[in-house]
Structure 1
Amino acid sequence: MGKVGLISAEWKYYALGVVVFLLTMLLMVSLLTDGFVAGEQAGRPLDGMLSVGNMLGPVGAFVAGSLAFVAGDASHVLYAITFIWVLMLFSQRPLDRLFTRLAGLMILVGAVAGMLHIDFTSGWTNSFAGGAFGAFIAERLLLPYFGRAGANVMGCMLALVGLLLATDFLFIHLLLYAQRALFHAGHLLLLGGAAFLGMGGGYRRWRTSRRLARVRARVAPRPSDESPLDAPPEVEAPEFPPATRSPWSGATVEPAIHIGRSMPPAPAKAAAQPEPVSLELPFDEVPEEAPPASPAMAQGQDDDIFSGGDGLDDMEDSLSMLRGAAEPPEAGMRTVFANEAGDGTKAAAAAAPAAKAARISFDLPAPRPVRRKTAETDELPDDYVYPKRYTLPPLEMFHPPECRVIPNLTEKLRRTSMLLEETLRTFGIEARVTDVTRGPTITRFELEPAPGIKVSRFQALTDDIALALEATGVRVEAPIPGKARVGIEASNEERDPVVIRELLEHRDFTKGKGKLNLALGKGISGGVCIADLTRMPHL
């Protein structure tokens, strides 16, 4: 945090907190160690006030006597509230609006003193439980107009208002804390009861199954008609065949791995019979018509190819001249002895040239583009009649918006504003936050710069502001259109979800003047952004 003068704002909070803490201890010790014993007939003496025993001496006796005479036993509320202020200062929360807090403290003390005067005849520090202040409030303001019961109700209401003004305490937080406490207490009771009855294991299994059921309910199953291209295929681990050794070069030949399809295991070879030869064609289906390998073959071999006889021998004779001219003599030997059977039969020698001829003669088919599987649509019947007026589907089909309560949101925004001002002051920019607007995803802080501050200096400090605010991103709008202010937009730590139903139910959408309205979302101020499609020529 930046320093202002010689002492930083953080140390100012600590110093002020120490001062208020010493004042709190002075009040508490002087009131708790007061030696005066109130009786039904004797009141609090004013002349001999300093002679009353007190641990802090005459100073403590004077403080305790004065407060007891004015507020009676309600004076103990003072050090309770000042202790709350100490906690606020030590937690870096500003003690601003001092006049409002002091007014709330007076209302709280007066309400408590009035109720003590109504409900108790005598107190511990004075003959009047509420002191002179409580007697005035009870006798002049509450009892003549509301009676005894109504005076207590009004006193409680005033006490709550004073507590809210003095400490900024929201009672919704008290309900949330009570709910959490009851939940944890019930959980501990269940654990204790299960352990006492010997059902600890069963309870844990029941709790685990319940959590799993919740998780399964949140995970939506994939529809059965979903395209297989949308989800990655489940690939089973293939079983790799062992590496083989080439009979010619002696090098180890690794088997080809095909992932995504299962290959059936090869049958075991017979020891006495040669291995049958299979032709490997580089396509899945044999075309109806194959182009000839040469013009001579195209003229004299059409009848043999498409006849019912065996045209393989003629194809071998026609290609023998090509092999003799294009291949060295060793190529034929490699082709003949490529088979591991080693018997030198004519069938094995003729199979290799035939396979090579098949590979040479036929061209590879063009790869077909992979298309996504489309769902089958039901065609409308011939006698279908369209309705005269279209009925919109109900908005209940969408999820309603969630109401989220962020605790201490106002205090967090106030602290962020002070941090932003101190960060800018560190870099020599004097500016004051005048307005804060929180949207669903970002919060805009409107700053009023001091005279003589250039707007371009805010743009240069974007990264430094993001670092100080610990924000994901910061955008500087200098200046804000229509205002003599600079806007700094920072991302929210907790974002509010925006659902389509909330936008469609908004009055700006339902009562809009556009012919074809389109709900785009929410703006920074929380308003719904509506656009008219008829005024968008680019769409």
Structure 2
Amino acid sequence: MARLSGIQRVMEVGMMISCAFSFFLLLSLAYFHPSDPGWSQAGMQIDVQNLMGPVGAYLADILLFTFGVTAYLVPFALAFVGWFIFLHIKSVVELDYLTITLRLVGIILLVFGFTGIASINFDDFYRVSAGGAMGDIISDALLPYFSFVGTVLLLLCFFLTGCTLATGISWFQFIDSIGASVIYTGKMLITLPSKLSTLSLPDLRKSIGKPKDDDFYDSPNQDIHITSLRAEPPAPEKKAPTFTIPAEIFDDLAEPTSTLFTKSNIKANVTQANAARTAAANSDSTQQGRVDALAPRESLLDDESSTANVPLGCEDLSANAKAPVHAEPPLASSESLPVDTPKALLPSFDLLQRADKVENPITPEELQGIARLLEAKLADFNIQATVVDVLPGPVITRFELDLAPGIKVSKITTLAKDLARAMSAISVRVVEVIPGKSVIGLELPNTHREMVRLSEVIGCAAFQDNPSPLTMVLGADISGEPVIVDLASMPHLLVAGTTGSGKSVGVNVMILSLLYKSTPEDVRLIMIDPKMLELSVYEGIPHLLTGVVTDMKEASNALRWCVGEMERRYRLMSALGVRNLKGYNRKVKLAKEAGQPILDPLWKFEESMETRAPELEKLPSIVVIIDEFADMMMIVGKKVEELIARIAQKARAAGIHLILATQRPSVDVITGLIKANIPTRIAFQVSSKIDSRTILDQQGAESLLGMGDMLYNPPGSSITTRVHGAFVDDHEVHAVVADWKARGAPNYIDEILNGDATGDILLPGELAEKNTDEEYDAVYDHALEFVTETRKVSISSIQRKFRIGYNRAARIVEQLEQNGVVSTAGHNGNREVLAPPPRKD
């Protein structure tokens, strides 16, 4: 059992003392006797009848004399305050002086109002007033001026105002909820007769005679059924409002700001952003049956365990509505394959939590004030700029500025921190280039940040209508439009971000996107999780080619298997005369439909027990997901970098894709070899500009807000896109995984983790590995940690450090060299440590 820290001990002891004292006061007040000696009188009897003794009688007398019947609420109030501080110590510490002052004033008004009302409306309690001395003082002071009714109204106002200031309860919302409940109840009572009239029962005749055509008497054993309620007609679908921003606001940039930045223009932008984010909540859900394409896996995917797929946040856009902006261009028709008719439904969107969308509280007047302030602060730094457009979003607001002639963008970039201080913002990001516009952008964080949930993005048409099985969701852009990408066109992805930046949640969103888009026949996964925490939840889903890999030696074998599978697929495509995996699957499918299946051209009689070559089947895409490949490189060595580079160079046409994630975007992890072969990158919040340049080749990631805020660098472009990552909770991940597990067990391939580096999967200059389990040295792991920390390696240093013999130390150094941890000995006998240093938490 873990021991408590210092502050935890103090808080727990304080909680116990608070509860004990509150219970003591409660019993003292419950057993109060007016004849006991106390603070307000001297009792005539020596024996105290209060259960808590003289101290309890004294405290009860003070409370009752001061507050009257309100004193019975004091023990509960003390217990609640102690419990609240114990559970919410962090939020209590973060309270500002204004909040504390308002709550204290609220408590005082609450006590004044309650005691005053009790004093003038209730009879005396024992020998004291019902409101106590405090209530008598307040009521006696108000009654001569406001009479009885006025005093009651004023004290009631004190009570309600104090309750709002102390607890934050909104009485207007309370009244609205009561009104909504009354209206709902009234509608139910009005529609109840019409619903009851839909119930039909057969006439039960008491007479002996009956008509000859009565079906009920002809079939006496027939059951009597009550018809179900008639379904109400679906409500008309609400479409997002369309609007047009006046073009004349961009005609003359030299005019004063008042003519360019009007209230109507700001309101149009706010309406556009709100409409894009709330259209999902206003649209009616429509059931869409989506079927699995697995013909040979009928036993794996059971139709009975499937549920209907109801997309959330999906809307039908009219022809005049603005088309959503996506990070990926639409796929060419020649590259898209016809979608097969599935046999089993994909998971339902009901497994995801619906988004509670609220309208952005910021008003056009507030945006206009911020724009004026921004112009004034830039003028303080001798920068003349005019705000020409404002784009409010769920997390940040972009202000587009037209700079005066001669003003360089680099001058504003260097003032980003000064602008953040002047605008009282956490950070300010400068967008130097906006495609298609001659302005720059300044992105300021919103005061009220909205959460972008996966359920409101994954149900959009851009995701549903994309024919690629590797379609993934990233989140929403700065204006709230969904950002959908295709892993097949990347074809590999590099993700980096510090701890707490939302990197792990982003990887989970990508995985769930694949699980909602593709079946095990279309996409198979290999997951490598050195931390044994992030990806272990996906263990057992049918998409996996092997179990979640946590041992780094097995991870190296998995990458080698991918290299071998890549080479095998290339030989198959070469034999069939196709250029990529899509062409291969199309040709295999057409041959089967024609009744002439293609036999495996790589089959060899002497290597198989079969007498005939097997038929070629559809090959799925393979996605390799490595959660923390920096730890993998540190343990396995530089061979991991070479394996990743080899896969990244050639595996696109073979349908093998990589998703690499790390929280250490340093040059010894994201090396030049990896960056050269993985052009598509995502940067979450990083700690410095150097890390941002390492992952994106440009700064900007250090100014992100965290919690899923990212910069996406699409393939073939140097212009990054800011994306607010979608959020998915742990229970949603477990629900989707459980849904896939219910369809059947995965079909693992044992050769992935147990295969040896032989044949065409050997790296240049590498020999075939032998089984060295019997020669494994227990000191090797400690020697590896010692070498990577000290950055020095020699046989004598290992011999002295671990007090072992020369031959044993020499074998350990040779193993370090074979595993790529250290280099070969130079002309002077020195070796260079190639593996990165261990991560320090």
TM-score by length of 2: 0.25
TM-score by length of 1: 0.36
